[in-house]
Every structure is written in C-alpha cells, then in structure tokens.
Amino acid sequence: MAQEAGYTPVTRAQIAAFRRRLAKYYGAFFVFLIVFTIVLYLLERAGLPHRFIGYAFIFLTLALYAFIGILNFTRRLDEYYVAGRRVPAIFNGMATGADWMSAASFISMAGTLWLLGYDGLAYIMGWTGGYVLLALLFAPYIRKFGQFTIPDFVATRYGERARLARLVAAICAIIVSFTYVTAQVTGVGIIMSRFFGLDYRVGVFVGLAGVLVCSFLGGMKSITWTQVAQYIILITAYLIPVTFLSAKLTGVPFPQLMYGRALSEITQLEQAMQLSSYVQPFKQALSNASAIASFKQIGLTPPEPITVKDWVGTPWEFLALTLCLMAGTAGLPHILIRYYTVPNPKEARISVGWSLFFIWLLYVTAPAYAAFSRWEVLKNVVGQPIASLPAWTASWIKTGLLTINDANGDGILQYSELRIVGDIVVLATPEIAGLPFTIAALVAAGGLAAALSTADGLLLVVSTAVAHDIYAKIINPNASYSRRFLVSRIMILIAAVLAALAALPRLALIVQIVAWAFSLAASTFFPVVLLGIFWKRANANGAIAGMIGGLIACVVYMVGNYIDPRFNVFGLSHLSAGIFGMAANFFLLIVVSLATAPAPKYIQDMVDQLRIPVGEMRLPAPGTAPGTAPGMAPAGQD
C-alpha cells in the first residue's frame, strides 16, 4: 500500500527548490501567453477572421488544461485528494484565487457594481474580508488537522458521533457545492455563446469536457496546477482591457487610481440629468421581482409583486450581507480544502495572504470597470441622438444585453430608455476602448478559465463527499484503494453530467442559489469548524444540532423573504439569511454542548495538539479510542 498512500515528507529546502522550478515553468507560460496574443493580433491585422481567433484561444487553453491534467495522472490517494501536501504557499495562493474567482467574479461583479453603485461594494468587502477570518481562525488549523475533506474534519473533531456528524457535513457540502457548480457550467455556456457564437448547449458540453480533462485523471494534484495557469490567464485578461480604457479616457494607464475621476464626472452628469447618485449608499428596496421571474420560468404561479421601501437608507442590509459573505467565504468547503494542500501550518498562514493578494488584484479593479463604463454610457450614449450612438453599442444591442427603446419618440436617448444587463460591463470594455478582437477573445478565455477553475474545485468536493465520506468512510470502510479511486472518478463523471443537465434550462434561480451558497456555508460549517478549533467543550451533539438547526433557520428566512419581502427583520433580504442561520447554529452548538457530556479526553487532547504549529497530528488508531467508528484512521496515514 505504501506506493498508493505513503506520505512523502517535504523539507524546507525541497519546498524552495520546487517553488523555483514552478516559477520558471509558469513564468515561461506567461511569456508564451503574451507572445501568442501578439501573434494572433498580427494575424488579425493580416485578415484572419474573428471566428478563428476565438477558436485559437479556446483550443489553446483547453489543450493546455488537458496537458496539465494528463501530466499529473496519479494513483496515490494523498495526491488525488490533497495534491500530496507539497504546494508552496504562493502557488496555493494563485490556485485559491482561481478556485475562488468564478464566472460571477470575472464577468458579473463589475456589472453588479454598475447596477447597484455603493451597495454593490458589500460584495467587494465581504468576499475579501472573509479571508482575514480564514487566515486567523481556520487555515493553519485545518492544515494541522491534515485530513482530506471538511466532513473528515467534522467527523474527527466530533468523533463521539463520527458517522452522523460526517453524514450531515457531507450532505451540507454537497448542497452548497453542487448548486455552485451548476452556476459555473451555466457561465461557461454563456461565454461560449456570446463570444464564439456556439450554441449555448454545445458550450455547456465543451465546458464540461474542459472540466473533466483536469479533474478526472489527477484529482486535486492536476486541479491545483491547472488552476495556477488559469489564474495567470484570468488576471491578465481582466487587467489588460481596463488599463487601455483608462489610458484612453484619462491619459493614465492605472485604472485603479484613475477611476476617481470617472466617479466625479459621473456624479456631475447624474446631477445634470437628475438621476439618483451612483455613490449614494443604501438605495435598495426589498422586492420579490426575482422570485416572480423564477416562478414563471419553472411554470408555477408567481406571487404578487411586492416592494418594501421602509428600510431604504438604513445600513443594516449592507452590514449583514457583508458579514454573511465573510463567514460564508471562511466556511466554503472548496476553499477550506485548498489549505490541506500546503506542506505545514506555517505555509498555510502565508498562503492565505497570497490568496487574498491575488484576489485583491481583481477586486480592486472591478469598481474601475464599472465606473469607466458608466462614465462612457452617461457621456457618450445617454442624451445622444439614437441615429448617432457610438459604434460599440450596435453589436451589443444585437445580443440583447443592451436595450434601447425611444419611448417618447424624440429621437434622443434618455437614461430611462436604456436597459443594461450587467455582464456587458466587462464583455464590451475591449470594444469601448477600441481594442482589437484578439483582446476580446483573450477576455473570453479569461472568463472561461475563471468558470472552469471554480467548477473543478467544486466538482472535487462533491465527488469526494460521496466517494470518500459517504462510500469509503460510512458504507464500505474496507474498500480497497483501487475501488475508492474508481468510485471517485465515477462520481466526478456523474456530478459533472448532472451539473450540465441542471444548467441546460438556464434557470434564473441558479444565480440566486449561488448568492445563497454563502449564507448556507455560513449557517452550517462556519460555527462548527470555528468552535471545533477554539472551544474544547464543543461536542458532537452540539455540532449536529447546530448544523441542522442553522440550515433550517437559514432556509426558512431565505424562502420566506424571497417570496414575500414583507417577511423581514430590520429590512434584511434573503441574501443575508445566513445571519439567522449562523445565530441559530452558534446558539444550538453552545447550549446543546453544555447540556450534554463533554467530548472525551482524546478529542480534547486533539484540540491541544491543533495549537502546536509543528509536526503532524497524532490521532488515535481506528477502534482503540472509545467511541471511534471503524474506518476512522487519520486520512493522511491511511
């Protein structure tokens, strides 16, 4: 068995040598990407049709992912689940960045800011601030625990009822991750159809193939090294167009600094047009518009339209949403497992810093996209004769992302006659900046990389929750390694096909569910993992009650408020339902733990060990500790 499961210890010198070698490979890859883009640009000028440029980018990137996937084929469980625990901090940071930033971050983030103004910044702060909690309270301890999955952590820490705790945690992980992966597959289909004119359904299946080539053969090992490449593509593709746009509009190629000018121009234009201000906070009323749209799509009778304006102008929703997104970030299984893959807890601490730095690069730029394109629209589109709109508008009106309707028939476009779908903000920027099609194709490749990398990480969580947690640990603890691999790979295939089937009808509800995934993660995993690490008195009864109660409280508020916004506390929307789930989880976890017997001594010793940042965990062998279920061997030493 040694060949399949032996754990290779890594020394500091080995990590450093490995890091240098990786830096060389990925540096060469970055240079290649730039040269490739320039060559295609020259070919474009020589008359190569746009269609072929688009295909060149899709095939190059998919071939690259497949190449990395095949190169990392593995027969070892620790490589398949946790990349052999030898990923250097900085590369794990890039992989986490790609794992984290999905199609939503890449395409929809800037659009959300365009539409919501200041209120959209709750996402920027929530999705970055969560990493502070992750670094200080989770990552080093998760690494120290040194298992394969998050249900592993829950089952080991709450070992008195290992099977039940594992089952509940595995089900929560599947619910959170599966809905999320469906949205990624939807994102792939949209990118394929918008940029390359492929049919949406064809796009979904091409994307699916792209996901499978990297996760199927090498599991976490190949996913990690693919994600690093995907991060490089996505960040390059994100930064180039807006840098050129900033240079064009302000003369200075630093969009993150120069969009201040765009904001003040926007404010003046808005005053002149008597629009509500973009930077004015807390403008959102509660409404059930999206519930109505979803109900209609599924074919149910939609609820009556209701709008609640009582809470406009109060900061509660903004603050609660920020907290939910932060706690959700720290509780999402596909992000937590990335910190199993670094060599030791000290690397885990630094690695979260790198993760957030790489994510920060995109998030500090997203508001610039929104501000520049809003400036362009208010200055050059609104108030212009419809006959002489800028050239870039024509192609986007065709896609339906931009709708103009001269309601009063005066031949001039008023702001109220314009309707914009948020995704256009990133997608149209290359054209607004007057960049060649090659750059637009690069942006599409970046969006594809963002969607695929997140889908990979999520699919692995779904498949391991079934293959490792439910099959190998609960149903058949004596399964051989080859059997476990077989089940893992079959599960990846099944989960990927199910996600594609769920993505085919393109339900609006799916995007909604992704926003909910954060509340669900905050209501289930966040309190249980946090108190599991920091509070010895927390026991299995408390954890199971907390997870179930948190899930129920969160779902009840979510569904109730989604359908009828009059059902609210302090004007909090369904997006912030995690506040209630989290509160219920903490309350039940504490009260039930105190009301029942403390965790056995060996578990309390385990919590003490967690605090020592050197050495692997010493866990009791299966069956020797009272109350441990069979098959409870520490995963890293299986």
Partner 1 sequence: MASTPAVDTARLEAYWREHWRLILTLLAIWFAVTYLHPPFAASLNNIKILTGFPLGYWLSSQFSITVYVILIFIYALTMNHVIDKKYGFDEEE
List of residues contacting partner 1 (CB under 8 A): 9-12, 118, 121, 124-125, 128-129, 131-133, 135-137, 140, 256-261, 263-265, 267, 279-282, 315, 318-319, 322, 326, 343-344, 346, 349-350, 352-353, 356-357, 360, 363-364, 367, 608-609, 611-618
Query: Comparing C-alpha atoms, which of 93, 78, 100 is closest to residue 5?
Result: 78
Q: 271 or 395, CB closer to partner 1?
A: 271
- Nearest distance, CB of residue 52 and partner 1, angstroms: 39
Q: 164 or 247, CB closer to partner 1?
A: 247
- Nearest distance, CB of residue 526 and partner 1, angstroms: 15
CA 399 to chain centre: 26
| 295-322 as b/e: b if 16+ CB within 10 A | beeeeeebeeebebeebeeeebbbbbbb
Burial class (CB in 10 A: 0-12, 13-18, 19+), 38: exposed
Q: 338 or 349, CB closer to partner 1?
A: 349
- Nearest distance, CB of residue 473 and partner 1, angstroms: 22
Q: 21 or 611, CB closer to partner 1?
A: 611
How many angstroms separate the CA atoms of 338 and 148, rounded?
A: 10
Q: 564 or 605, CB closer to partner 1?
A: 605
Contact 526, 331 (CB under 8 A): yes
- Nearest distance, CB of residue 339 and partner 1, angstroms: 12
- Nearest distance, CB of residue 570 and partner 1, angstroms: 13
- Nearest distance, CB of residue 202 and partner 1, angstroms: 38
Tell me the C-alpha to C-alpha distance, in Å, between residue 349 and each of 13, 20, 583: 19, 20, 27
SS3 category, 637: helix
DSSP 284: P
How many angstroms separate the CA atoms of 260 and 264, rounded?
A: 6
Q: 129 or 207, CB closer to partner 1?
A: 129
DSSP string, 332-359: -HHHHGGGGSSSSHHHHHHHHHHHHHHH
Q: 277 or 482, CB closer to partner 1?
A: 277
Amino acid at 531: L
- Nearest distance, CB of residue 369 and partner 1, angstroms: 12
Burial class (CB in 10 A: 0-12, 13-18, 19+), 26: middle
Contact 190, 399 (CB under 8 A): no
Q: 502 or 617, CB closer to partner 1?
A: 617
How many angstroms separate the CA atoms of 525 and 151, rounded?
A: 9
- Nearest distance, CB of residue 331 and partner 1, angstroms: 17
